[in-house]
Amino acid sequence: MNTPLTPAPEPIPGAAKTTIDLTHVTSYTAGIVRLAEAKGLRPAWGQPRGRTRRIILNAVGPHGAFGSIVIGRTSGKVLRAEVIHGNDAKVPRRATGTNAVRALLMEVTPSACSHGCNAESSTACRT
């Protein structure tokens, strides 16, 4: 049976455009990736590892947050995440599960750093 091809739907005005291919992920995972983009973390696909795929997070400047989100390779579900709040952070913050990862990303503050930032700490960078 042949199915007729229909054009792609028009994008919703005001909706955030994703720069990462979100095929084969759940809608919750897509929402988390959009949240990471909104926080300025510039998500990008990393190398697959075993039965997982990794999304690399990296904000602008040396004091921006960075880390990764691990997604199940076949399920497309968020498994865990690790975020480090700038180079002067003492310990990485970790979360396991979709809701915990979403809560962790909600706490990330967008970076005020620029590419040429040479401030000694993230607080000096914000002033």
pLDDT tens per residue, range 6-53? 444 444 444 445 578 888 899 999 999 999 999 889 999 998 889 999
pTM: 0.75
Per-position DSSP letters for 16-45, written without gaps between them: PPPSS--TTS-HHHHHHHHHHHHTT---EE
